[in-house]
Structure 1
């Protein structure tokens, strides 16, 4: 018997002894007068056993048939149970199991029911690692596109299939809504970040700001030379691209500062790995095709939320007039040589002769390298609203001959020693030096005397005036 049934028994016993009537008992039990009469009748007929709920010990009318339960558990063991020798992360959780039972097998079971069944069969555990909260979460941004968190996650996403060990998953998460965009890359490089940024801009527009790490890819500190020149900000190649698009890069000082994208990594490392395993995906091309086709759409439908402000902060791509080839490129400053050749790494770029008058020697030009390796030489002119760019034609030039290296001191000493051992008769004759009374020397002496006399004449004139 439950505690409530025992309490009813004690009150109805007082009614039976005549110390209180049914009206007072109804008030004490919190029941209506009619319900109290029915309960008291069962108590008089069957005693304390009549107060026990009649459904106790009987299966629920809404319970699943045992055959259905066995069928569901067999599917879980076969497809979603995982291998114990690979660790607990192999097993699917009840929430993910419920999704796949419905999408892959057409079986609809509540998550709480699955949780109870999986715990009873030893396929799941409620145990979780306890963490101490040290960094309070900040409030989300109000508008979609105000702040996008960008980061890469190296992990064994394909579980060794196809020889891929730890590819990088590039992740962009909107701070206001949680909308996510993903892309698999070999490494977290400038071009990998550019690829996922271009995909975001093509899908939603240009965001206001990016929240990234301090790294050589996204944002870096000023060098000693830049501080000496008085520069206030240092740009990476990716940072220069964002600067052209009008995107502000904010660097986080700790992983907790951009916790939204860090927690998203944990979600993908649990759900995405298992989904890739079910489909037998073994290379990054197939993985990216699955991301674009199914996973990203389903993930956003489940985990994204509405922004506090319905206004979209993204700007359209056409608001920036520069072309893609001038934005998504590696840009370096170079000096034009006296022969109008621009050196770029191991290449020599000979400028077209027709532009030599407008691009003098020792002037600065920009060399822009696209992702496919194409090179463009740009001459920037003007500032602010009057700024313009001119594309300079060029052709490959033969590389410049290397300057002869100076011999080291030891080598020079060895050469002098060898020359000293050569007999004087075999040495190369040296040109004779002119004698002291040679006409050359006499002429030089006359020039020196004339120069001294001409300098002394103005000084004598000044003394006479005084």
Structure 2
């Protein structure tokens, strides 16, 4: 019998013998008078044993067996689950091991076994958080995070976007480096699944904002001087999306906190699914977003969505691409990246016309004249025959050691042959450039 039970027995015995009243016993033990009467009757009939709970020393029927507990401990120490935080481990046990367990129970089992959660809890810092936007689609926060996503020493960059009102992931795309193609792919996912958002909140990366923008003085701005938009900024203008540059990582805190969560969870999810390549990861991420949103997304304050539908006359591929100005010759041929292309237009493009060259991994190279987009084909110009031997001219060439040429030999120059591989190389240089 414990000290508490012994005290209770002594007080109940005094009440049974009439040395104290029922009310005094109730006040002494902190119980109701009705409870004292019940205990008094039980002690008089069964003795002190009545005060000992009948389940004392018995294992609850719903308790986990030692076999299940040991299995949970072994699984947590395995290579697959060892890096999972406790909350994530609860979800993984239910999904992959058919073990349903509460967080508190799991925490007790693992901490008693000397296992700590790898995710350290930071001390709470009080600060004012910006209120969420009331409608889904009003503001999309966009960013990229380099990390060892496959659990190796090699880093890859995950491009992502999160809706400010709901915390819902609306786009994810993995690439080797932070690049234009990564953000175009994320935007493509947003447009095709949800529609056109009102605004995108991103950092002041050169993909989003021209470096020359910070060089404009107040006098320049008053005179109406502007800098050319980046290719991403130009695409957002065509879609009617406002691109808002953030001035600090804290300003886009929701997407920054998203990276912390994904860096804790995704490497384990990849390991369980056997994913080791970027292509496999991008296929997996399309389904993983729905799973993540079901766990963490919240309801918007206003149920009506702010996404706008895409007009039927808008071809997303012709917007999310790179565009340059060129001039065609009399035969409808233009030069681009050291290679010649001919516009397939049946005379619809006049000689010496200014056109827009559209470049994309989706369709390679196309040409736009006014509002019409035409296909192009690679074109090899015939070499001109020399009528007379040209006069040899002596020109001075700077040595490779000259400062003007410093580093040129380190850069792989673009060259084209008459094959599709050359066009692929050109596309990789345009869209997968490392902006770091």
* TM-score, structure 2 normalization: 0.73
Counterpart pick for 1:170 among 143, 159, 162: 159
Report the secondary structure of 1:173's partner residue. strand
| Total equivalences in the alignment | 383
1:11-68 Cα deviation digits (max 9, x unpaired): 6587578675213543665544331123345677999987565555543444222233
**Could you say which structure has the greater relative contact order, defined with CA pairs below 8 angstroms and 6 or more residues apart?**
2
Select the structure that is richer in helix.
1
- The farther-off stretch of 52-61 and 283-292 is 52-61
Counterpart pick for 1:266 among 251, 254, 260: 260
Report the secondary structure of 2:325's partner residue. strand
1:279 and 2:273 correspond:
yes
Whether the aligned pair in 1 keeps the contact of 2:148 and 2:154 (CA below 8 Å) is yes
Report the secondary structure of 2:252's partner residue. helix
1:162-196 Cα deviation digits (max 9, x unpaired): xx811111111111112213221222211221111
Judging changes above 3 Å, is the alpha-carbon distance between structure 1 residues 337 and 3 closer, same or farther for their aligned structure 2 residues?
farther
Q: What is the aligned partner in structure 2 of residue 373 from structure 1? A: 364
Whether the aligned pair in 2 keeps the contact of 1:237 and 1:330 (CA below 8 Å) is yes
CA–CA distance in structure 1, aligned partners of residues 366 and 74 of structure 2: 60
Report the secondary structure of 1:299's partner residue. helix
1:93 and 2:82 correspond:
no
Gaps of 5+ in 2: 387-391, 399-436
Report the secondary structure of 2:115's partner residue. coil
CA–CA distance in structure 1, aligned partners of residues 94 and 225 of structure 2: 59
CA–CA distance in structure 2, aligned partners of residues 311 and 24 of structure 1: 63
Report the secondary structure of 1:374's partner residue. strand
| Structure number with larger C-alpha Rg | 1
Q: What is the aligned partner in structure 2 of residue 309 from structure 1? A: 302
1:43-62, aligned counterparts within 5 Å? 55-62=55-62
Whether the aligned pair in 2 keeps the contact of 1:39 and 1:51 (CA below 8 Å) is yes
1:83-140 Cα deviation digits (max 9, x unpaired): xxxxxxxx32222222222221212122211111011112224983534637532111
Q: CA RMSD in A?
A: 4.1
Q: What is the aligned partner in structure 2 of residue 65 from structure 1? A: 65
Q: Give the drift of 1:272.
A: 0.8
Whether the aligned pair in 2 keeps the contact of 1:218 and 1:236 (CA below 8 Å) is yes
CA–CA distance in structure 2, aligned partners of residues 138 and 33 of structure 1: 54
CA–CA distance in structure 2, aligned partners of residues 103 and 353 of structure 1: 59
1:402-453 Cα deviation digits (max 9, x unpaired): xx99967x9xxxxxxxxxxxxxxxxxxxxxxxxxxxxxxxxxxxxxxxxxxx
CA–CA distance in structure 1, aligned partners of residues 57 and 315 of structure 2: 74
Q: What is the aligned partner in structure 2 of residue 155 from structure 1? A: 147
Report the secondary structure of 2:311's partner residue. helix
CA–CA distance in structure 2, aligned partners of residues 64 and 341 of structure 1: 76
Gaps of 5+ in 1: 83-90, 380-387, 411-466
